[in-house]
Structure formats: structure tokens, C-alpha cells
Structure 1
Amino acid sequence: MFLTRFRVNTARPGARRLLSSPQAMHAAVMSSFPHILPSDTPQPGAPRVLWRLDQHARAEVLLYIVSPERPDLTHLVEQAGWPAVTGPDNPGWQTRPYAPLLDRLTAGDRWAFRLTANPVHTIRRTEGEPRKITAHLTPIHQMGWLLDEKRQQRLGFRICEKPAESRLLPEGTTHQKRPHPGDRYELTVRDTRSLAFDKTRSPGGRRDKPVTVVTVTFEGRLEITDPDALRRTLTQGIGRARAYGCGLLTLAPLTPKTP
């Protein structure tokens, strides 16, 4: 497995086209692997290609890719990078083996994390109506999706709780007596976006129905409960819409808090 980082040159027209369409970015990412066809679907439980866009500032957008093969992003450099400054020692992206990080995961260890996901649930408006997949739209429900105990157990981690003295609200509740997970846990919703885009035309020229995906970026701290399950999570992704930039969880060492 490999972890790759590519900085997008947001001033280029090709970059703006890719950033405006998860479908186009997915195709560009999959074109980085000569032995993986864009239509390939990994077997259940097998590593897959995951990607995520992190925007730290208007002109600082980073593309992260986790993949079972080392990618060749030459085409992305030409479309959305800085091709004039690349060379043998600087291809325009950085790729590192993922195994050293995966191998050091240990139960009880704590890490900072970032995740962009597509939190959804199923609803039924009337009796007998088929259940419909619907996105969570409020931060409380989005956090509740990730904080679900069964989901965390399956993913191999638990979100860390804040010390009682660090909570702004007693018992982590609002004045309405409604659970407020954002004050109890080391978890923040940084960004919520609703992406609407057209899929590739179907054979015969028929245009498919537009796709709408609600994405949420979470940041926080987690504690490892099951290292093997977490390794699967890091290489297989979390939730739905993984082809459209969702599901990639990344870890970073915790930095000491300043007093």
C-alpha cells in the first residue's frame, strides 16, 4: 500500500475542471494506475484506491491517495500541477509506502485524524414505502453517524472524550436536553458540502440522472481498539461515495497541547 500527496495548482483551468467534478477527479485518479481499470471493482475486503481533497486555503488544495500500487501522476502534473518545475528528483508529487504506519498501529494508542465522509441514513415517510437513503444535514446528526458505537467497533477505533473540565456544557447537553456530541467528544465538523454533478453518459448517448453527494470533513482524536480492523478501515475506506472523494481516513501523531 502507498500514500500519495499531490498539491493542486488552482490557477490552472485543468485544475478548476477537476475540482468542480468528483466524477472527473475520480477518472483522473484511476488513470494513475496502469494495471487497474477505471471500471474495476475491488473484491470485498480487498484494498482499494481511495482519495480525498483537503483545502487549507483558497490556493492550497492537496490531493491524498491511498492505493495498493504506486501511482504515476504525470498526467495530473500536466493538467493541474507545475510541469515546468518538475524533474527526476521532483516529479510533482510525493509517494511513500504505507506499511510502516500500518504496522505500528497498537491497541490503546491515540492519534489525530481527518476523514471526509458521506454520512447517510435510511428513512421511510409512509408505512409500506421503500426505505430511502438520505444524507445527514446537521452537525449533530453527522457527528452521531460517526459516533455510532457499532460503527466505531467495526472500524477499529473510538472517538476520544474530552476531560470533564474541558467541556463547555454540563454532561455534554444543550439547554433543550438534547445530546450534543460536539461538546463531549474530541470531534469537529470542519466542512459540509453538497456536490451535484453529471455522471458519464450511458451507452447510446442517454444522460444519466445527476448525482448529489453531501460530504462532511471530520477532525478529532481517536483511540485504537482493534488494530486489524483499523488497518482494513485505512485501506478500504469508510461509508458510501468512496469513488467521489469520501471514505479516506488519515492519521497523524498527536501534538502536545500548549498550557
Structure 2
Amino acid sequence: MYLTRFRVNTARTGARRLLSSRQVLHAAVMSSFPALLPNDQPTGDAPRVLWRLDHNAPGEVLLYLVSPDAPDLTHLVEQAGWPTALVDGPGWQTRAYTPFLDNLTAGAHWGFRLTANPVHHIRRTDNELRKRTAHLTPHHQMGWLLDPTRQERGGFRILEKAKDKRLLPEGTTHQGHEHHGDRYQLTVRDHRTSAFDKARPAGARRGKPVTLVTVTYDGRLEVTDPDLMRRTLTHGIGKAKAYGCGLMTLAPLPQGATP
């Protein structure tokens, strides 16, 4: 497995085109792997190509990839990078990810970032088919990741704040609901709604645009099951993985950091 980082040159026309459509960016990412076709899907339990855009500042947008094979991002450098400023490398950084994954241990604490598509299934009447619907409020978006079953399947536990660092007593309730944002070391930000046309075979009728709601989670977690955690990091979490969702990355906590 490999972890790759590419900085997008947001001043370029090609970069703006890529950033304006998740379908276009998905195709560009998949084109980074000579052995894959743009619409290839993983078979069986094989890891898939995951990607995520981090909008850290107006001029700093980073593209992260986790993939079974090392990518060739030459075309992205030419379209959306700095092709004439390459001195010490090809314009992106790729590192072997497997050694890091192999060293994950139960009980270890990490900072994490995840961009996901938090959804649930609802129906308005008993006779209506259940419909997948995005969570739209920070409270429910946070609750999606805090779901105990989701955390257990993912091999991690979101860490809680120390009681003396909570704004509300015991992290209590708000209008009858648990106030997630005060109890856990977790924030939800960068809510985005994207609409784009899904790729279709030549000659197929144009369907309705895909509408996708994404949010970015930052927080701290404890690894509870290293094998499941490795699977989470290489297979992703939730829906819309082809469109930049589901990739969780870990980072060391500052030395001496406390909840």
C-alpha cells in the first residue's frame, strides 16, 4: 500500500476544472494507475484507491491518495501543479504505507482526519421505500461517526474530553439530545454540497445529476482492533468512496498531549 500527497496549484485553469467536479477528479485519479480503467472497482476484499481533498487555506489544497500501487501523477502536475518548477522530485510525494499499517497497536492514540458522506435511510410513510438521505446538521453528522457499531467495525474509539475540559456538565444534553460536540474530541467542518453528472456509457441518456454532501472530521481516536483499523485505512468508511469520501488518515499527537 502507498500514501501519496499532491499539492494543487489553485491558480491554474486545469486545477479549477478538476476541483469543480468530483467526477472529473475521480477520472483523473484513476488515470494515475496504468493497470486500472477509470471505472474499475475492487474485486472481493481487495483494497481500493481512496482519495481526499484537504482545503487547508484558499491557496492550499492537498490531494491525498491511498492505493495498492504507486501512482503516476504526471498528468496532474501538467494540468494542476507546477510543471516547470520540479527540482527535487516529480511534483508529488509517495511513501510506502504498509510499514506504518503493520505497526498499528491496540491502545495507541492518534489524531485523525476523515472526509465522509454521512447518510441515513428514511421513509415518510410505512408504505414508502426507504431512501438514502444525507445528514445536514453538525449534530447528526457527528452522531454518524460516533455510532458505536461504526466505531467497532472500524477498529477505533473516538476519545472523550476530560470532564474538566467540557463546557457543559458531563457533556450533557441539548434539547433532549446528547451534546456530542462537548463530550468528544471531535469537530465537524467544511460542509460542502456538490452536484455533478455521473459518467455514463457513450450514447446513454443523461440522467439526473448526482448530489453529494460531504463533511470533514478532525479528532482523536484510540485503536481498539489493529486489524480492523488497517482495513478502515485501506478500504475507507461510508459511501461515495469513488468521489473523495471515506479516506481516514492518522497523525501523531503532540508530545505530552492530554484529552
| Shorter-chain TM band | over 0.9
One-letter code aligned to 1:252:
A
Whole-angstrom CA distance in 1 between matches of 2:177 and 2:140: 12
1:221 counterpart residue number: 220
2:11 counterpart residue number: 11
**Other structure's SS at 1:209 match:** coil
- Per-residue CA deviations over 1:137-192 (Å, capped at 9, x if unaligned) read 01110111101111100000000010000000112124523211110000000211
2:90 counterpart residue number: 91
Whole-angstrom CA distance in 2 between matches of 1:110 and 1:148: 19
Whole-angstrom CA distance in 2 between matches of 1:206 and 1:177: 47
| 1:111 corresponds to 2:110 | yes
Contact 1:200 1:208 in 2 (8 A): no
1:199 counterpart residue number: 198
1:232 counterpart residue number: 231
1:124 counterpart residue number: 123
Q: Relative to structure 1, is the Cα distance of residues 38 and 173 closer, same or farther in structure 2, using a 3 angstrom cutoff?
A: same
Structure 1 vs Structure 2 CA RMSD: 1.2
Whole-angstrom CA distance in 1 between matches of 2:174 and 2:160: 20
- Tell me how far 1:90 sits from its aligned partner: 1.3
One-letter code aligned to 1:188:
T
1:68 counterpart residue number: 68
TM-score where L is the length of structure 1: 0.96
- Tell me how far 1:257 sits from its aligned partner: 4.0
- Tell me how far 1:132 sits from its aligned partner: 0.2
Q: Relative to structure 1, is the Cα distance of residues 3 and 235 closer, same or farther in structure 2, using a 3 angstrom cutoff?
A: same
Q: Relative to structure 1, is the Cα distance of residues 127 and 9 closer, same or farther in structure 2, using a 3 angstrom cutoff?
A: same
- Per-residue CA deviations over 1:194-222 (Å, capped at 9, x if unaligned) read 11111224431521220001001000000
Whole-angstrom CA distance in 2 between matches of 1:175 and 1:157: 26
- Tell me how far 1:8 sits from its aligned partner: 0.2
Whole-angstrom CA distance in 2 between matches of 1:93 and 1:47: 22
Whole-angstrom CA distance in 1 between matches of 2:202 and 2:62: 34
1:21 counterpart residue number: 21
Contact 1:45 1:232 in 2 (8 A): no
- Per-residue CA deviations over 1:13-58 (Å, capped at 9, x if unaligned) read 0000000000000000000000112121102421110000001110
Whole-angstrom CA distance in 1 between matches of 2:75 and 2:163: 50
Whole-angstrom CA distance in 2 between matches of 1:68 and 1:150: 27
- Per-residue CA deviations over 1:70-122 (Å, capped at 9, x if unaligned) read 000000000000000125x3100000000121011000000000000000000
1:153 counterpart residue number: 152
One-letter code aligned to 1:158:
R
1:179 counterpart residue number: 178
The percentage of counterpart residues that share the same residue type is 72
**Other structure's SS at 1:92 match:** coil
Structure 2 gaps of 5+ residues are none
1:167 counterpart residue number: 166
Contact 1:121 1:133 in 2 (8 A): yes
